[in-house]
Structure 1
Amino acid sequence: MRRLPRPGDIALMALLLLPLAVALPRLGGIGGPPELWLTWIGRVTGILGLALMLLAAAVSLRLRGFDRPFGGLVRLWKLHHWMGFGAFILAMVHVLALALAAVPASLDAAVATLFPSVSHGAVWLGWLSWLSMVIFLAPTFGFFGRLHYQRWKRLHLVSAAALLLGLGHALLLAGETWPWWLLGIAGLGAIVWRKLLSPRLAGLPYRVAAVEPLARGVVELVLEPEGRRMAHETGQFVYLSPLDESLSAGRSEEHPYTIASSPHDARLRIGIKDLGDASHALQSVTPGSRVLIEGPYGDFFQRHSPSRKPLWFGGGIGITPFVGGAREMAERGQGEETHLFYLANSPDRAYYQGELEEIAEQLESFTYTSHYYRDQGPLTEAFLRRHCPDYVEREIYICGPPGMNAHLQRLLTDQGIPASRIHSEVFDFL
């Protein structure tokens, strides 16, 4: 069973095709000799490439609730990355097709098509836009070693230059310019919001009330709002920017973390594992220091059929959305008949095991099963069937390391469970 397109996907497709639909009457037919076909292909790919680039910028808006029609922020960012890569490929086809279309006339004509005199400013704006895209995308191909998260975010400013130059290229050549103004305002407006306005306007101030150690290299931050409390749903995540001046790394940097507290908890609880410089520094963040919280984002537990019982798989720090869900059930004293499998390397790496076992003892509707990789190896179908015989009939949620996620996806789909009932969240897009 294939997943149906989200409402956001449909809106993106309509906006992508809008400039092409407006320009089609001026593009002429696609019959005739090969050079006419190539000219038509070159123009169409140029229109679609620039439209895709502007829309890739537009979906980076990151407003609360904006990600819901796209299936959550994780999926939206994956769309953003693929759209940017697709725009680059279409731009290359655009240039190559127009050059090949001029070859039958002469090689000089082909060269002149690509590199005309300086007076043809529209063409040179296109080349400058393409060069900006190369500078922006080159680090993602590993040309300069491992991609550094914060440098990559700062490099996004180069993408704004690519958008401006590409937009100028289109406005000088298009017959009808209003579609380009529409997409240009959407794309550039999103960049202005993300880079200039949201750092000052979108974050809610909180203070670190406590830093509770869970295991070696794992803590839970307990945060108290300084003013308005952020409302959230179970399974959502936030971007956290610590302002503690004593931090060895990560001060004022934003990173995504899943909320581990119940939506009814007056405090915000976030589990953080030492996985890099910023998360390492947060292990010893100063109690009483301030943080900024942006969000919440995601719709992890909203992808659910009410007729099916939930089955949860959590591993590593990916257990946090399920901790939040279990805590909410405990506060309410009831909930859907839910089974949680906690996949950890060993008992000492099952950070929330004690609390989850207590909740399972309190609630008949919540079942908890632990699985330790060092003792039992990878999770098997036999283990799953022994502890949850009706697993193939449930709605399934997975959150954990990419390797665990991939193993479970294969295991479950091999048992005939449709992909539409398997929901996962992995922050490997950052």
Structure 2
Amino acid sequence: MPDRARRSLWADHGEPAPASAAPAAPVAARPPAPSAPSAPSASRRRLPARRRPWVVDGLAALGGIGFGVTLALGVEAESSGSLRAAGGWATAAGRLSGLAAAYLMIVVVVLVARLPPLERAIGQDRLVVWHRRLGPWPLYLLVAHGTLITIGYAQAAHDGVLHQLGRLIWTYPGILASVVAFGLLIAAGVTSYRKARARMAYETWWSVHLYTYLALFLAFSHQVHTGASFVGHPTNRMYWTALWVGTLALVVGCRVLLPLWRSLRHQVRVVGVRPEGRDTYSVLLEGRRLDRLPAAGGQFLQWRFLRRGLWWQAHPYSLSAAPDRTRLRITIKDLGDHSAALVAMAPGTRVAIEGPYGAFTADARRGDRLLLIGGGVGITPVRALLQELPVGTDVDVILRGRTRGDLVLADEVADHAGRIGGRVHELIGPRDRVPLDAEALRRLIPDVARRDIYICGPDGFSDAVIASARALGVPSDRIHVESFSL
């Protein structure tokens, strides 16, 4: 795109015009640019609530107490007589594993319910990691539940296991629905494994996961109507119902009502799409009172573009500039499907928003020495985060790309780094020829071990940089990562 046209398009939307691209070089360092525009004043914007680490401890303690109470319900439902009966121990263990599985399913759902205090304290990427690690355990416990219950009932009836399984499914109330729920949960679990997830479209994965809520409803109905801990125990039933209804209210409130309210309040619309480099585009958006949206540079939102074929899909994209009163911007790479459709987005298209999310923000830092590292389109949240840093922050920025064109928004990064006296280092070339390993980090940033490090890029890139940072002695609580695989 001609430089004059690029400058005109920036000016039309009130953005600073980037300088002409510099010649590519394997490794380059940009000097500060004193003419860079100033960052928007934080005092004129509503920033996200402060991060409160104690929230994690409080919710963890509450979750542990709830788990203990749930297991106590299973123990209370048994007696010495029931345990001594044929199949008594197997049946009791099956009931206990079923209660534990149901409670852990609630925890798994709460981890990704996007509860604002929890999300701000931990970050959605870490919550998703915890969700994935904990997710298989309810499935294991459900397998144990079904197996042990079948064995216990078969022993009590002096019947074969397979014959008893058939009787349970076809003659006992609620068992068939619970089998359907188990199948839906298995489908959600299988599609969440990394290899399976990589082979399917985001929309397919998302659709499969919607059926998880149906599975949870069927599982709840099965337990409260047939569970030994609840039949004839109104107090236990009230506790269990309150737990599940509270979880439902949390999900609906955080995932439906709050996004709906913010979308109606801010009335976000597309005003243009601008090329930024090879297969990379910025979507320019406008809305009302966006300074009241509690967003910070480095965060992302779920975006739902309300046009045919896209309205039912929500995708996560990071802000590539700190918001002001009327404008937002995201910068995306054309990878096909959803992102390709955004390139042809017509001005005036309405946008529903969910968020903002993420702990990749300036208030996560432990000191005033920072190292920001962005790879490819992962540079975009780094650019927005850089815009939020106060003058006097000692910051170095490393931009990594295979070619000069892969350094998205590099000119803007240089401008904002120059505003606060920061330094920008460009690493251009194949990874095997221009590595970003521990030795390269030490050479570029000699005091790296005393800095907070912010990393954003593809998972393989981020994992390698994290390993290098740890090898150089950077504490884990000073490493801040934004993942692209939510």
Check if 1:367 corresponds to 2:367: no
Equivalence for 1:77: 128
- Asked if 2 retains the 8 angstrom alpha-carbon contact of 1:17 and 1:48, the reply is no
* CA displacement at 1:81 relative to structure 2: 3.7
Letter aligned with residue 139 of structure 2: F
Pairing of 1:100-111 with structure 2 (within 5 A): 100-101=151-152, 108=159, 110-111=161-162
What is the correspondence of 1:96-245 to structure 2 with a 5 Å cutoff?
96-101=147-152, 108=159, 110-111=161-162, 114-116=165-167, 118-140=170-192, 146-172=199-225, 173=227, 174-175=229-230, 176-190=236-250, 192=252, 197=257, 200-203=260-263, 204-226=266-288, 229=291, 230-244=293-307
Q: Is the CA contact 2:379–2:456 (under 8 Å) kept in the aligned structure 1?
A: yes
Q: 1:87 aligns with which of 132, 138, 148?
A: 138
Q: Secondary structure at the match of 2:100?
A: helix
Higher relative contact order (CA 8 A, sep 6+): 2
Residue 113 of structure 1 and its aligned partner are, at CA, apart by 5.2
Q: Secondary structure at the match of 2:294?
A: coil
Q: Which moves more between the two structures, 22-31 or 92-101?
A: 22-31
Q: Quote how far apart the aligned CAs of 1:34 are.
A: 11
User: Which of 436, 439, 449 is equivalent to 1:392?
Assistant: 449
Counterpart CA distance in 1 for 2:69 and 2:429 is 52
Distance 1:10 1:222, change over 3 A: farther
Whether 1:328 aligns to 2:385 is no
Preserved contact between residue 219 and residue 283 of structure 1 (Cα < 8 Å) = yes
Rounded to whole Å, the distance in 2 between the matches of 1:135 and 1:361 is: 50
Q: Which residue does 1:289 correspond to in 2?
A: 349
Shift of 1:405: 0.8
Distance 1:284 1:128, change over 3 A: closer
Q: Is the 8 A contact 1:263 1:328 kept in 2?
A: no
1:374 alignment partner, SS class: coil
How is 1:392-411 mapped onto 2 (pairs within 5 angstroms)?
A: 392-411=449-468
Q: How much has 1:201 moved relative to structure 2?
A: 3.8
**2:334 aligns to what?**
274
Q: Tell me, which stretches of 5 or more residues in structure 1 are unaligned?
A: none
> 2 CA distance for matches of 1:144 and 1:338?
36
In structure 1, C-alpha distance between the alignment counterparts of 2:191 and 2:130, rounded to whole Å: 19
Deviation per CA, 1:392-426, whole angstroms, max 9, x where unpaired? 12122111001101111221222333333222111
Q: 2: distance between equivalents of 1:340 and 1:34?
A: 69
Determine if the alignment matches structure 1 residue 340 to structure 2 residue 391: no
Instruction: Give yes or no for contact 1:259–1:321 (8 Å, CA) kept in 2.
Output: yes
What's the Cα RMSD here? Answer: 3.3
Q: State how far apart, in whole Å, the 2-side matches of 1:105 and 1:405 are.
A: 55
- The CA distance in 1 between the partners of 2:456 and 2:65, in whole Å, is 32
- Check 1:280–1:367 CA distance in 2 against 1; reply closer, same or farther (3 A cut): same
SS at match of 1:48: helix
CA distance in 2, matches of 1:423, 1:111: 52
C-alpha displacement of 1:160 = 2.4
Residue identity matched to 2:445: C
- Pair 1:419–1:210, CA change in 2 (3 A): same
Q: Does 1:20 align with 2:77?
A: no
Say which SS state the counterpart of residue 361 (structure 2) adopts. helix
Q: Distance in 1 between matches of 2:435 and 2:272?
A: 35
* Rounded Cα–Cα distance in structure 1 between residues aligned with 2:468 and 2:196: 35
How far has the Cα of 1:302 moved from its partner? Answer: 5.7
On the 8 A contact 1:244/1:286 being kept in 2, the answer is no
CA distance in 2, matches of 1:196, 1:397: 31
Q: Structure 1: how far apart are the matches of 2:141 and 2:382?
A: 41
User: 1:348-395: per-residue Cα shift (whole Å, max 9, x none)?
Assistant: 21112222223334432x221111232843213232122211101212
Change (3 A) 1:222 1:189: same
Matched, 1:56 2:108: yes
Of 222-231 and 132-141, the range deviating more from structure 2: 132-141
- Equivalent position SS for 2:424: strand
Q: Quick check: 1:68 aligned with 2:120? A: yes
Distance across 1 between alignment mates of 2:268 and 2:303: 10
* Counterpart secondary structure, 1:88: helix
**What CA deviation, in whole Å up to 9, does each residue of 1:167-200 have, x standing for no partner?**
1221121232123202221343355557865674
Provide the secondary structure at the position in 1 that maps to 2:408: coil
After superposition, the Cα gap between the structure-2 partners of 1:80 and 1:205, relative to the gap in structure 1 and judged at 3 Å, is farther
Structure 1 residue 121: deviation in Å? 1.1
Does the C-alpha gap of structure 1 residues 157 and 220 become closer, same or farther in structure 2, counting only changes over 3 Å? closer
Return the letter of the residue paired with 1:221. Answer: V
TM-score by length of 2: 0.76
Contact kept in structure 2, 1:34 and 1:101, CA below 8 Å: yes
In 1, are the aligned partners of 2:297 and 2:386 still within 8 Å (CA)?
Answer: no
Which residue type is aligned with residue 354 of structure 1? D
| More off after superposition, 23-32 vs 302-311 | 23-32
- Deviation string 1:58-87 (CA, Å, 9 cap, x unpaired) is 444335455224x12222233334444321
What does the per-residue CA deviation read over 1:231-260, in whole Å, with 9 as the maximum and x for residues that have no partner? 311211111122355xxx534521111112
Equivalent residue letter for 2:104: L
Q: Which amino acid aligns with 1:6?
A: V
* Cα distance in 2 between the residues matched to 1:377 and 1:279: 29
Contact 2:268 2:286 in 1 (8 A): yes
Cα deviation code 1:209-238 (max 9, x no counterpart): 332221021112221114554231121111
Quick check: 1:207–1:226 contact (8 Å CA) kept in 2? no
**Contact persistence 1:396–1:422 (CA under 8 A):** yes
Q: Which amino acid letter does the alignment assign opposite residue 374 of structure 1?
A: P
Q: Which amino acid aligns with 1:23?
A: G
Change (3 A) 1:306 1:423: closer
- Specify whether residues 314 and 264 from structure 1 end up closer, same or farther in structure 2 by C-alpha distance, changes over 3 A only: same
Provide, for residues 279-333 of structure 1, a one-character-per-residue CA deviation record: whole Å limited to 9, x for no partner: 112123223332222211111226735336222111111111210122234xx5x
Write the distance in 1 (CA, Å) between the matches of 2:485 and 2:269: 28
| Percent identity between the two aligned chains | 26
- Counterpart CA distance in 1 for 2:336 and 2:155 is 56
If the length of structure 1 is used for normalisation, what is the TM-score?
0.84
